[in-house]
Structure 1
Amino acid sequence: MPINALLGLCAPHDVNPSPLAAAGFRWVGLEVPLRCGGGGKVVADVVLVHEASAHLVVCESKSGSNIEVDQALRYSDITAQTVVHAVSLTLPHAVRPSVEVLYLGLEAHSERLALSLKSAEVPYPLLSVGKASVRLTRAEGASHQLRDAFSGPSTDLIAPPAAYIPFDHDSEVHEFVTPVRARLVQAMALGETDVSIRVLAERSCPNFLMYGQAARGQLTKKVQRAARQIATEHPGTYAYAEAPGGGEGYIRILRTPESYDARGRTQAYQALSRQSPRRRPAVDPNQLDLLQELTGTDDSEGDNVKERP
């Protein structure tokens, strides 16, 4: 929720207030690996930019109540130039960029997170996210751009933060099946005959191109596994094919509901959009039927029993 809340604050048309968007911020990267001084590395959950001042905000999200002290200290060794290069950002004018670190956390853990940041002796501000409000704490360590965006004590939310990222590279494969299935049906309706796994990943995963290279690779692999599962469920409609020379491969669309009679077209699309029912496992011929075990009979007696009306 903290990341989705942050993205909502940067979205100018969200149902909730968007103070970061109003202040001139937008997000430019997700899961971005960053080199630190001394050969260390961190992976920023979100990177924001305030283009008017060339100011960057590197965000680290915590769902629990603790921080990693070593990680927090590594963040202090990041330079603005490193972030600019990592997100391939083109600044609007020649100005020296600046950078700060912002931690995100749930409101229920805000006091514990603030104490942890204080114990680590890092000045990072903390954005505390609840279901009804968002609040910037430790604001004394924030840039004037962030303080201007959160000028009040808190920002009230009309609704819980929207799911800008409903799943990510850490999600289980089964969470990818429904969105991948929907994109395959969409491709089918558009008359496409082949859809690469890479294209499926871009269409199925929100903000796919904003992720760092490693995260994009993990997303693509999970989309591949979901697509192969769908092809197995519908062998007469889809087939997975390896790409020449290796790679993620692609899905071949063997037939579409467009070729059906018009009366069955809608039902065919609906069937392809639903999760296929699990097949009943094959019965072991050596295993007695439960009813037979209970009645003490077997099929061999059937020939000697007269048919009853």
Structure 2
Amino acid sequence: MHAITVREPGGPDVLEWTEVPDPQPGRGEVLIDVAASAVNRADLLQRQGLYPPPPGAPDIIGLECSGTIAAVGEDVTGFSVGDEVCALLAGGGYAEKVAVPAAQVLPLPAGVDLVTAASLPEVACTVWSNVVMDGRLKLGETFLVHGGAGGIGTHAIQVAKALGATVAATAGSDERLRRCADLGADITVNYKTQDFVAEVKQADVVLDNMGASYLGRNIDVLAPDGRLMIIGMQGGAKGELPIGKLLSKRASVMATGLRGRSVEGKGAIVAQVREHLWPLIESGAVKPIVGEVVPMSNAAEAHRLLDEGDVFGKVVLQRDR
């Protein structure tokens, strides 16, 4: 099969469309004939040599895919050859085939086409696990997401709105904020010209992709009993934690990632997504937001697009035919 490999750590041009051995499904796994994958920030870090795959995961980049089941390993139930699915991966999505534990596989939501479905697993599992399962967002609370125009942000806005929260989002231009408002954001903040603490005032749950540079202000904006969920380090990896403020607010800070979790841990999230989030997508309350579709063999261009930060929503890699 063909897959995108990394010639050496570096810029987008180190990505190459090359011949590699076909994967084989093990016990409890299915083999997916990939229709599409999608680009995530973690992919850019892996390309640069800054985010190696966990033990046992493929070296090939790609944390999600959609496609058709081509083979089923031993002890797999609930899926059959020919099923159209999407899947959360530990790696291997930028390829024509990938083997994945069946616990991390999802049927396509009704009404979502096969290529668009590749944009869903990573954002759906990240948002649901952080905002709902760990962040415990409830009806009537205020939710703040940073990077509201990105893949995670566009999904999180819609999920929080569907759950009955007041939604605040930050982004870097008025046009991108207008589109966030169209998705359901009640409060929009241009992070280049406005202070989100002053504009939002209090948030019960904050979903943060910036890390160190926003740590102090994120804690400032937390409401009493607020929950700060950190999922990225775009603004740095080390910050000073104001413990006094946390104590006075009875607030909590949690940092989570999906990729390094066990199959059982990922499977538990996938099961929740299938039960609770898929119906919201099928009803139209939450829509996949795809900003660009690029041929998989031209993954370098897709990485440039994401790095430049002008895409609204996800960048999808469609397999070459």
TM-score range, shorter chain: under 0.3
The alignment's TM-score, normalised by the length of structure 1, stands at: 0.24
**Larger relative contact order (CA 8 Å, sep ≥ 6):** 2
The alignment's TM-score, normalised by the length of structure 2, stands at: 0.23
Q: Point out the structure with the larger strand share.
A: 2
Between structure 1 and structure 2, the one with the greater Rg is 1
Q: Point out the structure with the larger helix share.
A: 1
